[in-house]
């Protein structure tokens, strides 16, 4: 019997490169991945070298073990010659109604404090009424082009930046959050592009992207100054559990809470004055 010749293909070579990159990102060896999945180390080696292409089930099993986000799993599937299986739509799509209704309830329940729903790239998809009223006490939110991006609102000198007393520390912590809270701890091309636009603002240092901030406090506050009074908040971030689509996996709900009693009292006064002006 003549020996079998195995030919490398561009598809399997691309898949192998992606799989190696994901192993490197997760800090796993081929043996680690084999133990996690039950797929032999030899087979994983063949996939990475382009000598074989896994079945779709095994490929998804590998992606699951490597905690690959849904958007990037579609890329792996395409590289292996399979159709993508994870869908991406808008939050206003009909199939998102149950999720959208749940998000609306969460936003309403968080009144009178600000709460926003954002996508993977910090674009604001939904807010409660308190968010707009609070931010409008600093800037004209109607003048900001949609989709409004929370990071741009804070980094832009024409946005909220002049009202943040410890802006440099806040900007550094937000840069760290972009990396820490990215879906699957992945910095993709669009996230890199977002970071690039933030670095283009005045007085933003590229070193902030690699800086680490150590603090004895349990949370990093986001502070604002209004009428000489410093208002300090912290955030709780919620994600959608058991997500089945790209859209739901990448949603984040950020709820702001007063960090101290003074902030809670002064915030209530600020919102009351805003209500009186609207009336």
- pLDDT tens per residue across span 141-172: 999 988 899 999 999 999 999 999 999 999 98
Rounded-to-integer distance, Cα 220 and Cα 128, Å: 23
Structure-token match 């060896």, residue found: 29
Per-residue pLDDT reduced to its tens digit, 103-147: 999 999 999 999 999 999 999 999 999 999 999 999 999 999 888
Other CB atoms within a 10 A radius of the CB of residue 216 amount to 4
Q: What's the chain's length in residues? A: 279
- The two tokens of residue 147 are 């989709």
What is the model's pLDDT at position 38? 96
Q: Is the pLDDT of residue 15 over 60?
A: yes
Over residues 251-267, mean pLDDT? 95
What is the model's pLDDT at position 217? 54
> What Cα–Cα distance (Å) separates residue 135 from each residue in 113, 131, 224?
11, 6, 10
What is the model's pLDDT at position 11? 47
Helix axes 10-26, 70-79, angle to 10 degrees: 150
Q: Is the dihedral of CA 237, 242, 248, 250 positive or negative?
A: positive
Q: Is the pLDDT of residue 82 over 70?
A: yes
Tell me the pLDDT band of 266, cut-offs 50, 70 and 90. Answer: very high
- Count CA within 13 A, CB hemisphere, residue 27: 1
**3-class SS of residue 223:** strand
DSSP 8-state assignment for residue 209 = G
- The two tokens of residue 89 are 């739509």
SS3 letters across 115-162: EEEECCCCEEEEECHHHHHHHHCCCCHHHCCCCCEHHHHHHCCCCCHH
> What Cα–Cα distance (Å) separates residue 11 from each residue in 8, 79, 194, 200?
9, 5, 30, 37
What is the model's pLDDT at position 28? 95
Q: Mean pLDDT of all residues in the chain?
A: 88
Per-residue pLDDT reduced to its tens digit, 35-64: 999 999 999 999 999 999 999 999 999 999
Rounded-to-integer distance, Cα 236 and Cα 238, Å: 7
Rounded-to-integer distance, Cα 41 and Cα 229, Å: 61
Q: Is the pLDDT of residue 79 over 80?
A: yes
Question: pLDDT above 90 covers what percent of the chain?
Answer: 71
Q: Say what the pTM is.
A: 0.83
What is the model's pLDDT at position 206? 83
Rounded-to-integer distance, Cα 11 and Cα 103, Å: 40
Beta bridge partners of 116: 127, 254
Question: pLDDT above 70 covers what percent of the chain?
Answer: 89
């Amino acid at each position: 019997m003549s020996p079998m010749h195995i030919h490398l293909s561009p598809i399997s070579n691309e898949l192998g490169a992606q799989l190696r990159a994901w192993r490197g990102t997760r800090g796993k060896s081929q043996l680690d991945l084999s133990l996690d999945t039950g797929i032999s180390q030899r087979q994983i080696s063949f996939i990475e070298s382009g000598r074989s292409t896994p079945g779709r089930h095994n490929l998804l099993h590998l992606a699951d073990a490597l905690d690959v986000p849904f958007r990037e799993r579609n890329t792996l599937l395409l590289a292996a010659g399979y159709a993508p299986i994870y869908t991406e739509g808008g939050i206003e799509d009909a199939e998102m109604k149950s999720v959208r209704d749940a998000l609306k309830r969460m936003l309403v329940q968080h009144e009178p404090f600000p709460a926003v729903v954002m996508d993977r790239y910090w674009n604001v998809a939904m807010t409660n009424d308190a968010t707009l009223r609070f931010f409008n006490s600093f800037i004209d939110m109607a003048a900001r082009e949609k989709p409004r991006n929370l990071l741009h609102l804070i980094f832009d000198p024409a946005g909220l930046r002049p009202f943040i007393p410890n802006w440099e520390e806040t900007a550094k912590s937000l840069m760290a959050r972009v990396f820490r809270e990215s879906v699957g701890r992945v910095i993709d091309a669009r996230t890199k592009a977002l970071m690039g636009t933030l670095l283009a603002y005045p007085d933003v240092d590229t070193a902030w992207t690699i800086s680490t901030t150590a603090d004895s406090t349990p949370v990093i506050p986001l502070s604002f100054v209004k009428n000489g009074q410093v208002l300090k908040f912290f955030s709780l971030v919620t994600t959608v559990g058991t997500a089945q689509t790209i859209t739901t996996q990448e949603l984040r709900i950020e709820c702001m809470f007063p960090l101290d009693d003074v902030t809670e009292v002064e915030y209530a006064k600020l919102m009351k004055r805003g209500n009186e002006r609207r009336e």
